[in-house]
Amino acid sequence: MSRQAARAAVSSFVPHKFASIPIVLAPSLRPRPARTPCLPFFRDPAHTVPTRRLYRDLLRATYRFPVPPSSGDQFAPQAALAAGASADMAPATEGRGLVGTRLRVIRDWHRRRGWTSPSQTQTFLSSQSALLTLLHNTTPTSPSYPSILSTDFAHHLSHTRRLARLSHAASARQAALSRPPHLTGGFLRPSIFNPPLPRLRPQPLGLSMMIHRRLRARERRQAKRLEWAQYARDMSAEVAMWRDLGLEERRGGKEGYWVGSGWIVGMREMLRIVDEGWEGENKRKDRMYSEGMVRRVKRAKARREGWQRDQAEARRVSAEEGEVSDRERT
């Protein structure tokens, strides 16, 4: 119905004195469609369930892949041998399938488990699905069988070398930490956390933890003082309110009021304990180096400068010998 027809229908039963009032027709109310919550694809069961199934199928396929006995040149490809691997390094994978490929699959999936890009995730899953199809369709008589074995050996060799590097780095780190610290010829300047000390390399763990504990203690002390200062302001406001009400101080009894200044004594005692910590830090910062410590640091600095001069002289002599040999060849 148009607006003019609606006005004419209404004017037929509305009194004449109300006919000039404009008529406002309410719009038709339509039910809102149900809004489905937005669910990321990496939490959608339609994505997570097939993805987990693909991962398990890949691991199962690497276990069931037929691999010949690990016998030197038959297993270790020439490309891997040319890269520096010996035939004796061929891993004994008989009965365990493609060990190198399985380790690579586990590592790749572990690295990409936090991806949130749909396009990159789809590309990765497509490549893994293609790998699964290749493993299922490959037999010992297939043309791709030698290349799969070669790739598996390269993955296993890379994993073994990576573990060796990590083990060597951990051993070197442990050896550096267990080495006794030595003087570097420098000073560790005094601060509110440490007294004047010589600089050591490596810095002892006890010294680092001492500074860390004092830093945390200072933060706790500062937070406690701010809290007590807030309590003091609240108590002052409450006592002022009681005095304005005309309440008198009476001690003892269930209805006694504490509107005097006695609470200030306890508060000042707590603040005094906190302030003693600040004073101790300031005294620690103002301490001076002892004469014996200064002599030890100067001797260490002289040894370091002498070693640096010897190294520079050795480099200069080596460079001159290299220039002489170059002129003789020319």
Q: Which is more confident, 94 or 291?
A: 291
Residues pairing with 183 in the sheet: 200
% of the chain beyond a pLDDT of 70: 75
Instruction: State both tokens at 192.
Output: 């509110």
Q: Where are the domains of the chain?
A: 41-177, 186-289
> What is the number of other CB atoms lying within 10 angstroms of the CB of residue 41?
13
Q: CA-to-CA distance for 205 and 208, rounded, in angstroms?
A: 5
Measured over the CA atoms of residue 253, residue 259, residue 261 and residue 265, the dihedral's sign is: positive
Phi, psi for 8 (deg, rounded to 5):
-65, -40
120-153 pLDDT tens trace: 999 999 999 999 999 999 988 889 899 998 898 8
Q: CA-to-CA distance for 141 and 184, rounded, in angstroms?
A: 66
67-118 pLDDT tens trace: 887 544 444 444 444 444 444 444 444 457 899 999 999 999 999 998 999 9
Residues pairing with 254 in the sheet: none
**Which residue do the tokens 């990496």 mark?**
42
233-284 pLDDT tens trace: 888 788 778 778 776 555 544 444 454 556 677 777 888 888 888 888 889 9
